[in-house]
Amino acid sequence: MIAPRRRHQRRPWAAAVFMAAVLAFLFAPLVVVVAFSFNSIPRMSLPMAGFSLEWYQGLIDDPEVRQALGRTVTAAIITALVAGPMGVLAAIGLQRLSVRVRTTVMGVLLLPIAVPGLLLAIALAVYWQGVLGQRYSLGAAIIGHILLALPFVILTMNAAVSGFRFSLLEASRDLGATPWQAFRTIMLPLIRPAMIGSALLAAAVSLDEFIVTLFVGGRETTLPVLVWGRIQRSVDPSLNALATVLLVATTILALLAARRTSVRA
Amino acid sequence: MTTAVPAGGGGGSRRRSVIAATPLAPAVLYFLAFLVGPLVVLVVFSVFTFRDLQWLPELTFDNYVQALTDLSYRAIVLRTLGVALAVTSIVLLLAYPFSYIATFVFPRRRQVVFFLVLVTLFGSYLVRIYAWRTILGAEGVINATLVGVGLIGEPIRGLLNSPLAVGIALTNFLVPLAVLPIYSAMQNVSPALLEASRDLGAGRWQVIRGVALPLTMPGVRVAAAFTFIAAASDFATPALLGGAGGRMAGGAIQREFGTTLNWPLGAALAITLIGAVVLVIGGIWWVLGRIGR
């Protein structure tokens, strides 16, 4: 690749400053939350006092937080286990369609990203209680999480599968392999890293999801919904600690996912 | 896995292609059951009647009449669209140069930069809104710094609980969402092409305006649509940062579902808002199309 550095070298400073400023703006709120989570006084203002872990201790001692944590983790695991395989299959199925049909189907499958979260949430809420007659629960929320995670799984898997030569499967079938054998021994090893990556991405989506859970989760609150409830009530410094935990968890999941999905089959 | 058809094998018979696509079935059925179904039901509910805290299947357009004629709701929708439009413009003005610089000025660092942006995209959205309260509050980071330096005597109280605060927070978490499609559109533009137009005598701005921008316009349009939809339908940011003067449509819709339980009106409000959003996006696309020529 020819990098057009020559002309830009005259004034890369302005460009570098602009980029640094945007990155600083993007990271500013994250830095503030993490910094204040270690502040030793319960005031969310400058100057900060000393270093303390008491807000983290408070989280561990809080039964409401522990319960919500359990539900959040459950939701993330189920979302990954359901949305992962379903999205992988969908990505494989997409490859076998003609280009025009594939583009259309792909567009539909990416809808949950484009449709406003609020619209999805109220539609699911009405459907779940008004039509199906079910009570709002964590299960209902997980159904929404899977819906929201699927586009991300399909997008990453589509990139991983698009380079795969399906003639390899055909060849192994001709040599006597069953469809499952052909998939397991030829395709699976090639797409496994991307599969794991996309499942992790699905877990990250679930972990951070808040709007659908708020509307259909009922009393079974997850951590983001708990954060939402407490933010509105008061200034609570333990929220910074909770937020930091959530932030670190989603970042680690996204990091792991990115490392795997960048490996292309 | 049923039959093995070569990738993109659209030439075969229709039946063969349908069978080959069966791996799609679970996802498609899931979408029908939990995306298409609920959305259709929402549209149906929007013409139901709400009486005595109950929704009744008596068809009426009163909800839409109320959504369109209620003055306070109209004001909220107009404010929502205005804030979303301003946010979308600023987001594009930040995300486009950012992606451009990352791709063409510092091509060796672009993976790292892109990854940093992704981290902020997945870093909890509620948490970031919450952080802006700490930053913009009367004793927050900005005011404390300004007072400390001696630039102002009294903290500025109007920073928080205003449309401005909502706009700042929305911009903050929508820039990564806009960078995604713009950045990926730029990866398809050959740097050699930009180099060639420079060699032919084009200035820096001419290269951006005449070559890069038209080539990346599809990505910019997607980014604009994503940003506008997200900004116009968000309800958490206005609720936490907007105060009384910063109420937006998302909050009004949420209230019909959360507090008054008037589902039919809430559904009609939501559909009206989506209609307005689609119209504005059409306008944005038209303007971008003119710019990208």
**Is the pLDDT confidence value at A1 over 80?**
no
Q: Is residue B272 part of a domain?
A: yes
Residue A93 lies in a domain: yes
**Mean confidence (pLDDT) of chain B:** 83
Residue-wise pLDDT for A75-116, tens only, equals: 999 999 999 999 999 988 888 788 788 888 888 888 888 888
CB contact under 8 A, B267 and A126: yes
Q: How many structural domains does chain B have? A: 2
Per the structure, how many domains does chain A have?
1
The CATH number assigned to the domain holding A129 equals: 1.10.3720.10
- B3 and B82 share one domain: no
d(CA A70, CA A67): 5
- A23 has a pLDDT exceeding 90: yes
Q: Which helix (H) or strand (E) holds B49?
A: strand B49-51
Q: Given B9, B30, B253, which is nearest A122 (Cβ)?
A: B253
Q: Running DSSP on this structure, what letter comes out for residue A62?
A: -
CA distance B10 to B6: 9
Q: Is residue A12 in a domain?
A: no
The chain-wide mean pLDDT, for chain A, equals 83
Per-residue pLDDT of A175-188, as tens digits, reads 888 888 888 888 88
- The boundaries of the domain holding residue B9 are 1-29
**Domain presence at residue A18:** no
At residue A99, what is the residue type?
Answer: V
* Rg of the Cα atoms in chain A: 23
Report yes or no: A41 at the B interface, CB cutoff 8 Å.
no
Q: Specify the pLDDT at position A160.
A: 79
Cα separation of the two ends of chain B: 45
For residue B194, is pLDDT > 80? Answer: yes
Contacts 24+ apart (CB under 8 A), A164-167: A164/A95, A164/A190, A164/A191, A164/A265, A164/B7, A165/B7, A166/A95, A166/A96, A166/B4, A166/B5, A166/B6, A166/B7, A166/B9, A167/B4, A167/B6
Flag whether B147 is in a domain.
no
Residue with tokens 């140069």: B97
Shared-domain flag, residues B13 and B106:
no
Q: List the single range of A21-25, A197-201, B119-123 with lowest mean pLDDT.
A: B119-123
In a domain, A58, yes or no: no
Query: What pLDDT score does B13 carry?
Result: 55
In a domain, B145, yes or no: no
In a domain, residue B155? The reply is no
- As a whole number, mean pLDDT of residues A201-224 equals 89
φ/ψ of A200, rounded to 5, equals -65, -40
Give the one of B126, B135, B253 whose C-beta lies nearest to A228's C-beta. B126
Any domain includes B90: yes
Backbone angles phi, psi at B57, to 5 degrees: -75, 50
B227 in any annotated domain: yes
| A21 falls within a domain | no
pLDDT confidence tier of residue A44, bands split at 50, 70 and 90: low
Domain assignment present for residue A155? The answer is yes
Dihedral sign (CA B229, B231, B235, B236): positive
Residue B98 has pLDDT above 90, yes or no: yes
CATH at residue B178: 1.10.3720.10
How far A75 CA sits from the closest chain B CA (Å)? 16
Phi, psi of A39 (to 5 degrees): -75, 135
Q: How many residues can be counted in chain A?
A: 265
For residues B83 and B198, state if they share a domain.
yes
Please report whether residue B245 resides in a domain.
yes
Q: Are A27 and B119 in contact (CB under 8 A)?
A: no
Q: A92: domain range?
A: 64-261
- Cβ within 8 Å, pair B45-A165: no
3-class SS at B50?
A: strand
If pLDDT is split at 50, 70 and 90, which confidence band does B8 have?
very low
Is residue A13 a part of any domain in this protein? no
Residues B41, A162: C-beta atoms closer than 8 Å: no
Buried (b) or exposed (e) across B145-171, using 16+ Cβ within 10 A?
A: eebeeeeeeebeeebbbbbbbbbbbbb
Domain membership flag for residue A108: yes
- pLDDT given for residue A86 in this prediction: 93
**Tokens read off for B148:** 């400390």
